[in-house]
Amino acid sequence: MQYCGDLESRLRHHPQQVKEEILDKMGVPLGLHTLGFPLAISLLCAVLSFALPQFWIWSAIYAGFNLPQHAVLVGVFATGLGFAIFNCLTAFFTGKGYMLAVRAHLTLSALTLAVSLLFLLAALFSLISGEAIRGVSLSGALISVALALGGAAIATSFSFYRMLLYALHNRAWRKLL
C-alpha cells in the first residue's frame, strides 16, 4: 500500500518513469485482478456485512427516541443506500488509480468490521442472558463478521495489490496521453 502511495506521488511529475516501473512489477498480464474483481468482491462483502446489523441498530435508535417502530426500515434503507453509494464512489476512484479512494475503502472496511463485531457482541449477550433483542440473531452476526473479515482479507491480498498496480499503470497512461 505504501509503495502504491509513493508511486502515486511520483506519478504527477514523472508519469513515463512510473509507468515503466509499474510494468516491471505487474507480472502476469491478464487475470481477474485486471478486471477489478478483488475490489468488487471486497466492496460486496463490506456492503452486505454492513447491511446485516442495520435493523438492530435502527430498532435501538427508534426505541431510544420513542419513535414508531414501523418506520425503522426508513433508517435501514437510507443508511444502506448511502453506504453503498459511498462504497461505489471509492471503487470508481480506486479503479482510476487514486490511493485516497483505497484508503477510504479500507477505512469503510474497518468500520464495517467494527459494526459487525458489535452486532456479534449483542447476539452473544442475547444468547447468554436469554433476553431477546429485536433484530439480533447469532447466525446473522456470524455471517456479518465472516463477510467483513473476508472483505478485509481480500483488500489486503496480493491480488488486490496487483489490481492497484494496474489501476496506477492505467492512470500513468492517461497522464501521458
Give the three-state DSSP class for 28: coil
User: How would you label 53-84 residue by residue, b for 16+ Cβ within 10 Å and e otherwise?
Assistant: bbbbbbbbebeeeeeeeeebeebbeeebeebb
Give the three-state DSSP class for 175: helix
Q: Looking at residue 101, what is its pLDDT?
A: 94
Q: Looking at residue 15, what is its pLDDT?
A: 75
For 96-118, what is the HEC assignment? CCCHHHHHHHHHHHHHHHHHHHH
> Is 23 in contact with 170 (CB distance < 8 Å)?
no
Distance CA 165, CA 115 (A): 30
Distance CA 95, CA 33 (A): 11
Answering whether pTM is above 0.75, one says yes
Which amino acid is residue 110, in one-letter code? A
151-174 pLDDT, tens digit per residue, is 999 998 988 888 888 888 788 888
32-82 pLDDT, tens digit per residue, is 556 788 999 999 999 999 999 999 999 999 999 999 888 899 999 999 999
